[in-house]
Chains A and B, each alone.
Chain A
Amino acid sequence: MVTTTAAIGAGTAAEPAIRVDDLRKSYGAVEAVRGVSFEVRRGEVFGLLGPNGAGKTTTVEILEGYRERSGGAVSVLGHDPADRDRDLQQRVGIVLQGAGFYPRVTVGEAVGHFASLYERPRDPAETIELVGLTRSAASKTVELSGGQRRRLDLALALVGDPELVFLDEPTTGFDPAARRAAWEVVRRLSELDKTVLLTTHYLDEAQALADRVAIVKDGLVVAEGPPRELVGEGARYVVSYVAAGRRVHHETDDPTDLLHRLTSDALARGERLEGLSVSRPTLEDVYLELTEDEPAGDEPAEGPRT
């Protein structure tokens, strides 16, 4: 049910696809999720990032209805996933990490059988085409390569024509070409106005695909926002060059001024700045900084860090 809440007033978006509020999950004495909150808007690709054991798979499995939460509130397409309501399951597609399939079934049979479980499925052949498995449609699932199996996972999750797709580490183990192909599928989902919740280890993947990301560490969200803004928050440029055989990095808010000083000094000494570059930090830099276990030493703002 898409409830465009007119009552809240103009300018507000539709009811979010996913709302997570102070979610908690304990396993015995261990608190895996310690109060996670975020929202996923309809039609957006949302990335959940974090190191292994940060609590992202636990969070996603609670949203998928596989686990029960210990505390907090969650809403998925207006439902509580813990109720395991069939109406919700009709509208959600799940790509699990490392789930197998009946080994002696062909790709076509598997996708066809899954289509029969949904009220309004997509055409199985067209779904197989969407994930690029048409040439393997007659192959048994045991005969598929790792990348092809992941595409089958995707086809099985999409054949019910879900509004919301959960993708747990969808490209782990892919070669670069297969990753790009999977990215294309995710982009196509987004063009079809599907909502996607993606967990990934690959920061470039999040940067390439996600409209917004949340970075989870030790069961808490430590940062949330569009990748560009997260990267922008630091607003620091890195200027680097090679001096005496070593690469020297300087961080700065004002690269124009820094470059002027560096190049003037170099010219005055009659030297060249080999390998000079100016770059913005990537999501990976932000991520590494946020998920670091030991606090970084206090470095002077523009001091060299080699």
Chain B
Amino acid sequence: MSAAAVLWRQLRFERRLFWRNPSAAFFNFLLPLLLLFLVASVYADNPAELDVLIPGIAGMAIMATTFTALAFNVTFLREQGILKRMRGTPIPVPAYLGGLLGSAVVNAVLQVALIVAIGNLVYGVSWPKDPLSLAVFTAVGVVTFAALGVAFSHAIPNFDAAAAYANVVFLPLIFISGVFYSAESLPPVLEAVATALPLKHLIDGLFAAIVGGADVADQFGALAIVVAWGIAGVVLAARFFRWE
């Protein structure tokens, strides 16, 4: 059996499990949409704010479905000894981790598609003006935040602490990175912090792709910062990965 076939089987197994976990389904799917509807109802008559909100929620959803979900999952799988058990089987490590990460990627992509569609159909935000740029930023964002999530799981001491650890990063970051309003209205210190971190740049890239119609080359600076974080994430995730 080829490694690709094993990966595919593992991915299907993870997908089946995902839908059986009501709290994961809520945090990954319903919560971003709920926030979208709530905040959009405030901005209902303001197309400029909605143009900021849709890419912002899409960026937040990418982070929630990859960074937060994987920080949780890897901590759980390690604490339960499931990682160790899987390591004792002949499944190739890339196929196992590929299935685990692939499941998070599927959630992220579904979520971005859903948010873009709702943005257009319900709130009249334009269809992505540069779909290629949207695809590039989604792909880079997903890989970056997935790697950072796995890397961050190494810092979480146990599963009971996972929610606190993940939210200490996630909640402040979505407030300073321009999810709900333009990051330009932030105090300079917070703006400087947001500029050093990847989420703001991911959202800028998504904004440019969906609303601005700028192609990838115009967003090279933002893309470079997200990629740099992605490389750091992959290195840290691999360097400190523990099976038990």
Chain A contacts to B: CB under 8 angstroms: 64-66, 86, 89-90, 92, 94, 96, 98-102, 104-105, 113-114, 116-119, 156, 160
> What residues on B are CB-neighbors of A104 within 8 Å?
17, 20-21
| Contact of B85 with A116 in the complex, beta carbons under 8 Å | no
Q: Which residues of B1-36 have CB atoms within 8 Å of chain A's CB atoms?
A: 1, 6, 9, 13, 17, 20-21
Once A99-B85, A100-B80, A119-B1 are accepted as A-B contacts, the answer to whether A90 and B90 lie under 8 Å apart by CB is yes
Smallest Cβ-Cβ distance to A101: which chain B residue: B82
Once A105-B17, A113-B13 are accepted as A-B contacts, the answer to whether A96 and B88 lie under 8 Å apart by CB is yes
Task: Report the Cα distance A263→B88, complex, angstroms.
Answer: 60
> What residues on B are CB-neighbors of A94 within 8 Å?
85, 88
Q: Which residues of B90-108 have CB atoms within 8 Å of chain A's CB atoms?
A: 90-92
Smallest Cβ-Cβ distance to A99: which chain B residue: B81
Q: How large is the interface on B (under 10, 10 to 19, 20 to 34, 35 or more residues)?
A: 20 to 34
What 4 A-B pairs have minimum CB-CB distances, sorted nearest first?
A99-B81, A100-B80, A89-B90, A94-B88
Of the candidates A66, A105, A117, the one whose C-beta lies within 8 Å of that of B90 is A117
A116, chain B: closest CB distance, angstroms: 6
Once A104-B21, A105-B17, A116-B9 are accepted as A-B contacts, the answer to whether A98 and B88 lie under 8 Å apart by CB is no
Of the candidates A66, A86, A101, A114, the one whose C-beta lies within 8 Å of that of B92 is A86
| Contact of B85 with A96 in the complex, beta carbons under 8 Å | yes
> What residues on A are CB-neighbors of B243 within 8 Å?
66
> What residues on A are CB-neighbors of B13 within 8 Å?
113
With A99-B80, A99-B84 given, can you name 15 additional A-B contacts, CB distance below 8 Å? A66-B244, A86-B92, A89-B90, A92-B88, A94-B88, A96-B88, A98-B81, A99-B82, A100-B81, A100-B82, A100-B85, A101-B80, A102-B17, A104-B17, A117-B90
Task: Report the Cα distance A118→B90, complex, angstroms.
Answer: 7
B89, chain A: closest CB distance, angstroms: 5
A105, chain B: closest CB distance, angstroms: 7
B160, chain A: closest CB distance, angstroms: 15
> What residues on A are CB-neighbors of B9 within 8 Å?
113, 116
> What residues on A are CB-neighbors of B1 within 8 Å?
119
| Contact of A114 with B82 in the complex, beta carbons under 8 Å | no
Of the candidates B81, B84, B91, B244, the one whose C-beta lies within 8 Å of that of A117 is B91
> What residues on A are CB-neighbors of B89 within 8 Å?
89, 114, 117-118, 160
Smallest Cβ-Cβ distance to B1: which chain A residue: A119
A61, chain B: closest CB distance, angstroms: 10
Q: Is the interface of B mostly helix, strand, loop or mixed?
A: loop
> What residues on B are CB-neighbors of A105 within 8 Å?
17
A150, chain B: closest CB distance, angstroms: 13
A79, chain B: closest CB distance, angstroms: 13
B113, chain A: closest CB distance, angstroms: 26
Smallest Cβ-Cβ distance to A91: which chain B residue: B90
B36, chain A: closest CB distance, angstroms: 28
> What residues on A are CB-neighbors of B88 within 8 Å?
64-66, 89, 92, 94, 96
Smallest Cβ-Cβ distance to A98: which chain B residue: B81
Task: Report the Cα distance A94→B193, complex, angstroms.
Answer: 48
Of the candidates A89, A92, A96, the one whose C-beta lies within 8 Å of that of B81 is A96
> What residues on B are CB-neighbors of A113 within 8 Å?
9, 13
B99, chain A: closest CB distance, angstroms: 11
Smallest Cβ-Cβ distance to A114: which chain B residue: B89
A-B contact pairs, 30 of them (CB 8 A): A64-B88, A66-B244, A89-B89, A89-B90, A90-B90, A92-B88, A94-B88, A96-B84, A96-B85, A98-B81, A99-B80, A99-B84, A99-B85, A100-B82, A101-B80, A101-B85, A102-B17, A102-B82, A113-B9, A113-B13, A114-B89, A116-B6, A117-B6, A117-B89, A117-B90, A117-B91, A118-B89, A118-B90, A156-B85, A160-B89
Q: Which residues of B43-99 have CB atoms within 8 Å of chain A's CB atoms?
A: 80-82, 84-85, 87-92
> What residues on A are CB-neighbors of B20 within 8 Å?
104
Smallest Cβ-Cβ distance to A94: which chain B residue: B88
Task: Report the Cα distance A304→B88, complex, angstroms.
Answer: 52
Task: Report the Cα distance A113→B88, complex, angstroms.
Answer: 14
Smallest Cβ-Cβ distance to B20: which chain A residue: A104
| Contact of A66 with B21 in the complex, beta carbons under 8 Å | no
| Contact of A86 with B82 in the complex, beta carbons under 8 Å | no
B114-129 vs A, Cβ < 8 Å mask (1 yes, 0 no): 0000000000000000
B84, chain A: closest CB distance, angstroms: 6
Task: Report the Cα distance A114→B88, complex, angstroms.
Answer: 11
Task: Report the Cα distance A90→B1, complex, angstroms.
Answer: 12
B19, chain A: closest CB distance, angstroms: 9
Smallest Cβ-Cβ distance to B244: which chain A residue: A66
Smallest Cβ-Cβ distance to B12: which chain A residue: A113
Smallest Cβ-Cβ distance to B95: which chain A residue: A117
A146, chain B: closest CB distance, angstroms: 15
| Contact of B81 with A86 in the complex, beta carbons under 8 Å | no
B218, chain A: closest CB distance, angstroms: 44
Task: Report the Cα distance A102→B81, complex, angstroms.
Answer: 10
Smallest Cβ-Cβ distance to A88: which chain B residue: B90
B242, chain A: closest CB distance, angstroms: 11
